[in-house]
Structure 1
Amino acid sequence: MRRIAATHPGPGPLRVLEVGAATGVTTEAVTRVLAAEGRPGTAVDYLCTEASDLLLDAARARTGTRPRVRFARFDVHHDPHHQGFRPHSFDVVIGADVLAAAHDPEGAAHGLAELLTPGGWLLLTEPMAAVEEWHAAGGPIWSYPFMVNAFAAGTMTAVLAGALGWFMVLRRQSFTGHTLALVGFPGAAGAVLLGLSALTGYFAFCLVAALVIAAVPRAGRFSGAQESALTGTVQSFLLACGYLFVVLYRGSLGGVNALLFGSFLGITVGQVAVLAAVAAVVLLVLAAIGRPLLFASVDPEVAAGRGVRVRALSVLFLLLLAAATAATSQITGTLLVFALLVMPAATAQALTGRPGLGLALTVLIAVAVTWLALVVAFSSPYPIGFFLTSFAFGGYVLVRLGRTVAGALRRVSAAARAVPTGGAR
């Protein structure tokens, strides 16, 4: 690819088609080489394809912020022409382990070759021994490195979101948490527009938004209304900025879906490391301030009278929430992190009012929902976000229904005991 990029004659862009992208490992490596080795002024039109929507979302989440990378579905088992791909429309066709998985390897190779322009390049890597060894393992979920990363990141995300979400729901700041989750979208889009990493944008926008919202004191009769008004204003403005950044970028940001919904698949070891570091710091700080924060959340006036620094705790909690949201948004997207922040906490608080037990239940529910969603999504063509939110919502509905039925039974039982059954005359 280095030689092809360096010798591309032009004048049009170097048109590259990748088939069988899986989780985007090859895409990431090739696009990095093309960005570094192409002639000055040489444009690249890179089309990343995969037959599975699930894996295509993973590739999009991994490499969607790279310039001039597009994504589409393509199945090597079917005629390319019937899938909307015209003959002689690509300078390079690349694929890793594509023919090994094809039902008709010779026919698949012939169909890919027809997509090339005269003098084009067909680059396929087929390590057959590695493929046979991979399938010989039986294909359990833990045999896939990207799923190991997904479970590691998912567990840390669930613990982090569960712990902070419990306090967030207790403090009636769900709208604030929703806003902090959403502003990661314009942050990531703006960072990519400036040539920075999306992670930089997540942290910058989330932390600044937290400081802006924290400018409204929570004490006072109308403090809740003032905070809600400011939060809604910040959310609306930054969302508009996010869509503006996407338009100004004039490239592919992996689709808005990649930033809003993310993907647990295609997670890199570096992303897991960043999430682990942020989770460790946030949870340590939260453990240190947990008792006074609980006191200030339940009764801020009394807590302030007892010498608790309610204002400082409020600001610190918002910063912790913003940091956790930024770290997890790179994996879950800016919308799914809110589902993990709210629904497990709401479910646990519907089950018990005891702080310690409620916090533990919140984390357990968040981890269970995340693991279950990962297992189901692994063998399903549908996105993991649907399963994650559906399982979390289903758990909350079941708990609320259970409480309603239990309350009705208690009232019926009490009424039955109150009805006289007869007495002495």
Structure 2
Amino acid sequence: MATAPDPRLQRLLGGPALAALRQRLRRHYERGGTDGGRLLLDRLQAHEQEALALLSGRPARPARSLRLDLADLQARLQAAGLADSLRAALERLDGPIADATAERAAAQAAWAAVQTRPGRDPRLGAWLQAATGLGLLKRLARQDPVAAEDLLTQAGAVLARLPAAGLPRSQLAALALGDAHALDAGRPTATLVLAAWRHGEASADALAAEPDTPPQEERIRDVWARAGVLVNELARPVLVLNLPVPRHLDAAPWLCGEPAYLSLRWLLRQRPDWPVAGRPVFVCENPNLLAIAAERLGTHGAPLVCTDGMPAAAQRSLLEQLGRAGAHLRCHADFDWAGVRIVNHLLTYAGATPWRMDSARYEAAAHQATASGLALAGPDAEARWDAALAPAMRRHGRAIAEEALADTLLEDLTTGP
């Protein structure tokens, strides 16, 4: 049980009126100060100056600052039987004084141990050495090194099962952590796993710098997909036409010349070996254009992939597979601001090149468009591949749908680029 302060000490330095002064004195010790040397106190109130004068045995003076001789004050407090030191007096009045310097040093040592613990999954270890790694871990662990160790252990258990082969995220969470929801969006372990996985990807920096990427949740789904994990395996399948049969399959699960949907589940579990090295694969924005190509060209059209707007996980996974297989991706979209963003994204993310998507073709289409055509709407965007395209679109103020350009686009699908 704490010893009650001497009533004389309470009268000298206690009470609410001197609480601010006591806090200033306590900070001296919290910062590692001792009971030796001198301590300068400035901006003193009159009643604080009077209390310090009584405590140190000095005559009160109308001054705003005072330099305390702490060794002399310690001797006075001991001689009066009030306390062994000023620090002891302050602790009797307001409780123990923490050594902030020692606590900071201990915390730094604890976090250094977390950061360098041997036996860690190498992907986590590399991420922890990155500039933002330890800071994110501290935030997720609420500045608690013990909680951080638990999170890293859980993240390591998940990473040990990656890459997967089309494993649902909930099943991965149940197998690795015993909780089907432990890797749901926003959960700390999921955040660590995704951060470590992205850090290890060669394309992570380019993806993080891409301003035209889909919303954050969509990007998270894409990262899981690249790790072979399904977040929503049947959401937004990718629409394709005339893709060649993968080498490891005896027959494709679609009919040549007919539009077909490929699910993210199929793409991640099959990991198709696409025979497209050196071949053009065309990419459009709108399902209607793909339907027109199927109707007019049938089996005689070049491979065509539809993003159906900004590509989602299935579309991005297929384009990534085709790009790795050596396909030359040629992309087109509506001549509107959303279309410009889609092509910007495909050029950066998938390594595609524009397909009849330049200012000259826009100008020609805008001059031929009817007066009842659609007006451009929404925030504008600069075309990274053609500096003249956005100014031309602003000048005409007209959106041109892909379907209106079907005749010229189908020429390329028939004859090649």
Provide the TM-score with structure 2 as the length reference: 0.23
The structure with the largest helix share of the pair is 1
Give the structure with higher Rg (CA).
Answer: 2
